[in-house]
């Protein structure tokens, strides 16, 4: 039974790899890859950009870039494609955030959608997504990416390393340090409201 399962897995893997190979020249295969990955990239963009509108813009840029470059894409497996796609998404999202005006807009949007806290309670406000996003946005764009990939996408250090072209050990060290910084930033965000 286990052998049948393993065989089925190998067949699926081969099919996916074949799809990546065909997508270089066949629109139909590229359309299928798009179907498989659209939601994942959109979700990643929402996490990085908070706003669904901005996420749609960046997701569009990512897939149009894929359409332009897929013919010369050198990878062979689905994993190669996935890493390549995420690398494009990471770069596009960071490029979007680097513009101060856009960053300020995202911050304002996050602040605007924070849940109001009961002023009678003296405890710290409960951690919700807008507050956490505000704290994440205070990190460097590259560090924001690591937070998203590691803690929201639950990726292993190895795959994050492949996407960011860094060694897994480096990602591990930096992720540990980011968490320390994030804790400080969160404290500031929450203190600012108290």
Partner 1 sequence: MFKNESDFKKIVGRLNIDNKPNPAHRESLRRKMLSVFNKTGEKYGPQATFFHTLRRTIMKSPISKLAAAAAVLLVTSIVLFYFRYDESVAMVDVVPKQLTTNIATGPELVALDIKLPRPMFVGTPVDTRVPNLEEPLGKPRPPFYAPVGTKNVAFEKPVTSSDEDPVWGEPEMITDGDKEAADGSYVELGPFKQHVTIDLEAEQNIYAIVIWHFHKEPRVYYNVVVQVASDPDFTEDVTTLFNNDIDNSLGLGVGKDMHYTETAEGKLIDAKGVKARYVQLHSNGNTSDDLNHYIEVEVYGKPAK
Span 133-192, contacts to partner 1 by CB under 8 A: 142, 151-152, 154, 166-167, 169-170, 173-177, 179-183, 186-187
Evaluate the CA torsion angle 181, 52, 125, 134 in order and state its sign: positive
Evaluate the CA torsion angle 124, 130, 132, 133 in order and state its sign: negative
How far from chain centre, in Å, is Cα 114?
22
Nearer to partner 1, 22 or 79 (CB): 22
CB-based contact 51:95 (threshold 8 Å): no
Span 29-88, contacts to partner 1 by CB under 8 A: 30-31, 34-35, 38-39, 42-43, 46-47, 52, 55-56, 59-60, 63-64, 66-68, 70-72
Nearer to partner 1, 66 or 163 (CB): 66
128 binds partner 1 (CB under 8 A): yes
Nearest to 41 by CA among 118, 33, 30, 115: 33
Nearer to partner 1, 7 or 95 (CB): 95
Q: Which residues of this chain interact with partner 1, rule CB under 8 A?
A: 24-25, 27, 30-31, 34-35, 38-39, 42-43, 46-47, 52, 55-56, 59-60, 63-64, 66-68, 70-72, 124, 127-129, 132, 142, 151-152, 154, 166-167, 169-170, 173-177, 179-183, 186-187
């Amino acid at each position: 039974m286990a052998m049948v399962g393993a065989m089925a897995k190998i067949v699926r893997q081969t099919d996916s790899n074949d799809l990546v190979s065909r997508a270089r020249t066949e629109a139909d295969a590229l359309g299928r890859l798009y179907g498989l990955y659209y939601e994942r990239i959109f979700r990643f963009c929402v996490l990085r950009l908070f706003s669904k509108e901005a996420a749609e813009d960046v997701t569009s840029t990512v897939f149009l870039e894929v359409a332009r470059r897929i013919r010369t894409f050198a990878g062979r497996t689905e994993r190669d494609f996935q890493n390549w796609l995420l690398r494009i998404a990471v770069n596009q999202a960071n490029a979007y955030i680097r513009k101060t005006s856009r960053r300020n807009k995202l911050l304002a949007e996050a602040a605007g959608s924070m849940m109001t806290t009961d002023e009678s309670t003296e405890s710290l406000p409960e951690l919700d997504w807008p507050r956490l996003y505000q704290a994440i946005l205070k990190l460097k764009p590259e560090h924001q990416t690591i937070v998203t990939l590691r803690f929201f996408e639950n990726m292993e250090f190895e795959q994050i390393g492949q996407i960011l072209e860094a060694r897994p050990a480096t990602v591990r060290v930096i992720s540990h340090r980011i968490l320390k910084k994030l804790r400080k930033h969160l404290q500031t965000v929450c203190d600012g409201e108290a």
